[in-house]
């Protein structure tokens, strides 16, 4: 990948600011996750670590996990989805009524069971009744659990 390891002290003005950008991103993530749970913020730290490690960086085009280990921890599904498999579904705002989808709502939900394959790239997923959205998902919106 062509990365170069550099050691430096904090607040050193001649550096390129990568650490500060990372710290700002982590701070924003923690503020979003902790929001109403300030007294139990220790319970969201594993979620924050997982989320940060598996989010794609704009400059590298990879997740931090991929940079370190060479492969993605959250692989998207190929054509190997079988009925009965458990998947996570991507929740898009356009699937919900305009007022019901919040900005800080989870981007994925699950695990849910695949109940049927419709064609080459559409699947019926067994969702809870209170979701109120279509049970048919495109392969791009599914992730193996």
pLDDT digits (tens, 9 = 90+) for 3-28: 676 666 666 555 666 777 778 888 88
Q: What is the pLDDT of residues 120-138, one digit of tens each?
A: 788 999 998 887 788 898 8
45-54 pLDDT tens trace: 787 887 787 7
Q: Which residues share a beta bridge with 137?
A: 123
Q: Quick check: 33 pLDDT over 60?
A: yes
What pTM did the predictor assign?
Answer: 0.46
Q: Mean of the pLDDT values across residues 56-67? A: 79
Q: What percent of the chain has pLDDT over 90?
A: 7
First to last CA, the chain: 28
């Amino acid at each position: 990948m062509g990365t170069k390891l550099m050691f430096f002290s904090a607040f050193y003005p001649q550096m390129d600011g990568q650490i500060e950008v990372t710290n700002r991103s982590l701070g924003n993530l923690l503020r979003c996750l902790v929001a109403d749970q300030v007294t139990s913020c220790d319970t969201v730290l594993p979620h924050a670590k997982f989320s940060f490690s598996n989010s794609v960086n704009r400059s590298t085009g990879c997740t931090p996990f991929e940079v370190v280990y060479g492969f993605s921890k959250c692989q998207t599904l190929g054509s190997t989805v079988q009925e009965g498999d458990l998947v996570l579904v991507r929740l898009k705002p356009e699937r919900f009524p305009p007022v019901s989808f919040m900005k800080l709502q989870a981007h994925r939900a699950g695990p849910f069971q695949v109940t049927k394959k419709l064609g080459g790239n559409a699947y019926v997923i067994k969702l809870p009744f209170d979701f109120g959205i279509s049970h048919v998902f495109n392969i791009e919106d599914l992730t193996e659990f």
